[in-house]
Amino acid sequence: MTAIAIEYRDLRPVPQIASTTTLTMLLIGCAALLLASVIVIVVLSQPRRAPRRARAVGAHSGSNDRNVWHARIDAIVEQHARGAITRAEAFDELAQVARNYASVASGADMRTQTLLELSRRPHSASDQHSLNLLKQTIGALYPPQFADAQADVQARDTSVEQAGEWVSRLVERWRR
């Protein structure tokens, strides 16, 4: 084995870089790239918002005046009270008013969705309260609307007036 001898005179310091401007520009560029990366990460980490749907607005749209919806509900209850429509027809019409109101108020068509479809419907946090109200109202209307009144106590004991109150509460408590 031979040992390699290094003499002190062979160790020379690295010469100073001639251009400090180049290093300064490189440092500024890296800082800008880092800042841009942080901004992109923050923006992309935000939850996506559901696109706003256009809502019908104006004096004649039917969505601005809750009194119109209450009048529809009252008309159904009154028609049933005077015998113009059957109990089953009244429940069907009240469920349709609830779905129509939710469709107009939300801007999304919910007129034909089942309770399961409403439960699976994507929604934002701000829509959660209103969608829960609709699901509760439709869920409460299902037994008197579809169940056998002889076998189901809830179907038998629910009156058209009570169902009308449920739909009215939906209209009043819906968050716009």
Burial zone of 2 (CB within 10 Å; 0-12 exposed, 13-18 middle, 19+ buried): exposed
pLDDT tens-digit readout, 19-76? 778 788 889 999 999 999 989 888 887 776 555 544 444 444 444 588 899 999 999 9
3-state DSSP assignment of residue 129: helix
pLDDT (tens digit per residue) in 124-161 = 666 777 777 887 888 777 766 666 666 656 666 778 88
Please state the separation of Cα 16 from the chain's center in Å. Answer: 62
Give the predicted TM-score (pTM) of the model.
0.57
| Domain edges within the chain | 67-173
